[in-house]
Amino acid sequence: MSNKQQSTTITLPRGTLDLTYQTNMVVSNRDSEKDDSYQLEDLLGFAQRINPKRAFLFVSKVLGRHIPVAPSTMRHAFTDLANLVPNELPTPILVIGMAETAVGLSAGVHQALQTRYPDAFLLNSTRHAQHDENSDPNGADSLLTTFCEDHSHASQHLIYQSSDSVAQEQLLASKTLIMVDDEASTGNTCVNVVTALRNAGLTQLKQVHLTTLVDWSLDQENTNKQTEGAKPARMADRLTGIEFHRHHLLSGAWQWTDAPNPEPITMPSVDTTAAGSQALGHTGNWGRFPTLDSTEGFDKYLSSFQAAFARFNDQESFNDQKIFEVTQLPKRILVLGSNEFVWLPFLLAEWLEAAAQKPDSDTDAIVKFSALTRSPIALGGAITMMLSFGDNYGLGMTNFAYNVEPSDWDLIVLCVETSSDSVDDLWQNLDNVLVVSPTL
């Protein structure tokens, strides 16, 4: 059940965004006996893309990507969204997340869904070419398919298959696809993903569940809408032979109007699926290949953090169970993931938040989470600050951190899947930054 329809207009430098929307009643994981809903201001801010394909950006307040967010707030959103997915779905089930913004969201939704669907696979798209021990060194043997996200700053996506024959057989036999993304604005990406997967061998798909924090494509369901420049045809009509369902915390429709004579913009070159010159460390499988357990690499990564934190505080040794009895947590902690590497860093931030809240922790630390990104966004609106620097993957591209003022934090834990020395000098030269890297 949804609340009544509301509307608002967002004015941005390159035009205006007119929104009509309605909130969705959910059974909140914070109080299972009480219906709850997310309001527009709970979920979104708005900003301007540096992208000629689309001038506006929905900036999530619960995703931990462009705005620092408490891990507990993120976890609530993950679980509330997963709770909207129905029971008794046809199995096998594949949960797929969209790089780079939704790879943490998909893992969180997948983890919550596993209480009901323990055998569901998680698989994320990626823009970083991969290889595994049993595949061609260039990753060619393990690539399942590719697809295009038309409006994105980096449109090409890669999807990898499993080198395990049993897992690959289950993947190809998937009957339900749960596609997780931060938002849907036209539905084109969903159609592109489903089409690519079916062509790659997932021919038994019966149901597709588009599962997003916000869905702005619902005006496609109005089949009487006959206007110039109308949105694409209804999703159900574009996915023949498949039942199509939507799940979201808020839904609506948008209309963009260009400002008169907007200044031309040039988008940075960030559309690459190369591997980069920096080797990726072993962080477990959190979704770039099909997996049942996205947390398998966390214990090792946590140990890497604990060792780095001890050195950061000039401790000669530490006890895993008592480290925060020996060294109190700083007051303000920001954990930063990097590009697609956000799930294990999120789990670390969640672990730190829980440690800070223990009765014997002797601290009242505030922990928040955000991430570095290749997404170019202009200052203004929900983006109050921007840091730009070289990427840590050796791709030679600019990366960004938004709404992060380093001096606001006593400790910034920068989590990377490459070596520590791959991190830009902007971060290396800050005294309050702790770089956590896997052992290469």
CB count within 10 Å of CB 336 equals 26
Q: What pLDDT is stored for residue 220 in this prediction?
A: 60
Percentage above 90 pLDDT, the chain: 63
Question: Dihedral, CA atoms, 279, 281, 282, 283, nearest 10 degrees?
Answer: -130
Q: Are 19 and 46 in contact (CB under 8 A)?
A: no
Residue scoring higher pLDDT (106 or 141): 106
What is the Cα–Cα distance from 196 to 304, expressed in whole angstroms? 38
Helix and strand numbers (H, E) in the chain are 10, 19
Rounded to whole angstroms, how far apart are CA atoms 397 and 138? 21
Question: The whole model's pTM is what?
Answer: 0.89
Q: Looking up tokens 């983006």, which residue turns up? A: 383
Q: Dihedral sign for Cα 246, 248, 252, 256, please.
A: negative
d(CA 139, CA 120): 24
**By C-alpha distance, which of 404, 273, 413 is closest to 333?**
413
Mean pLDDT within 195-221: 90
- Residue 324: the pLDDT is 47
DSSP-assigned beta bridge partners for residue 329: none
76-91: b or e for each residue (b if 16 or more CB lie within 10 Å)? bbbbbbbbbbeeebee
How far apart (Å, rounded) are the C-alpha atoms in residues 38 and 29?
A: 13
pLDDT above 80 for 140:
no
Residues 6+ apart with CB under 8 A from 314: none
Task: Report pLDDT for 268.
Answer: 63
pLDDT, position 153:
47
**Cis amide leading into 90 (omega within 30):** no
CA angle 91, 202, 175 (to 5 degrees): 15
Strand partners of residue 253 = 20, 217
Q: How far apart are CA 232 and CA 335, in angstroms?
A: 39
pLDDT of residue 155: 66
Over residues 303-354, the pLDDT tens digits come to 999 989 988 887 655 555 555 444 568 999 999 999 999 999 999 999 999 9
Helix (H) or strand (E) holding 43: helix 40-43
Tokens linked to 66: 């462009």
Helix (H, G, I), strand (E, B) or coil at 165: helix
Residues 6+ apart with CB under 8 A from 329: 352, 355, 356, 361, 363, 365, 411
What digits encode the pLDDT tens for the residues 78-103? 999 999 999 999 999 999 999 999 99
> Cα-Cα-Cα-Cα dihedral of 202, 208, 209, 211, to 10°?
60
pLDDT at 44: 96
Cα distances from 11 to residues 20, 64, 152, 378, in angstroms, run 15, 24, 21, 14
CA-wise closest residue to 372 among 418, 410, 408? 418
DSSP secondary structure string for all residues of 338-358: ETTB-HHHHHHHHHHHHHHHS
Task: Output the pLDDT for position 363.
Answer: 65
Q: Give yes or no for residue 145 having a pLDDT over 50.
A: yes
Helix (H, G, I), strand (E, B) or coil at 402: strand
Higher pLDDT, 359 or 392: 392
Mean pLDDT, to the nearest integer, of 110-117? 98
- Distance (Å, whole) CA 6 – CA 23: 9
Task: Give the integer Cα–Cα distance in Å for 215 and 18.
Answer: 15
Alpha helices for 179-256 (secondary structure H): 188-199, 235-238
Q: Is the dihedral of CA 339, 342, 348, 353 positive or negative?
A: positive
Residue 225 has pLDDT above 50, yes or no: no
Is 60 exceeded by the pLDDT of residue 406?
yes
Closest CA to 400 of 430, 428, 370, 380: 370
Average pLDDT for 410-436:
96
Please report the pLDDT score of residue 128 as a whole number: 85
Higher pLDDT, 102 or 153: 102
What does the pLDDT read at residue 214? 95
Per-residue pLDDT tens for 228-268? 333 445 666 778 889 999 999 999 999 999 989 877 766 66
3-state helix, strand and coil shares in percent for the chain, rounded to the nearest 5: 25, 30, 45
Write out the two tokens for 45. 């801010």
Query: Taking 90 as the threshold, does the pLDDT of residue 151 lie above it?
Result: no
Q: What is the pLDDT of residue 229?
A: 39
Burial class (CB in 10 A: 0-12, 13-18, 19+), 73: middle
Half-sphere exposure of 374 (CA within 13 A, CB side): 26
Q: How far apart are CA 278 and CA 318, in angstroms?
A: 30
Residue 382 in this model has a pLDDT that exceeds 80: yes
Q: Is 67 helix (H, G, I), strand (E, B) or coil?
A: coil
Provide the mean pLDDT of the chain. Answer: 86
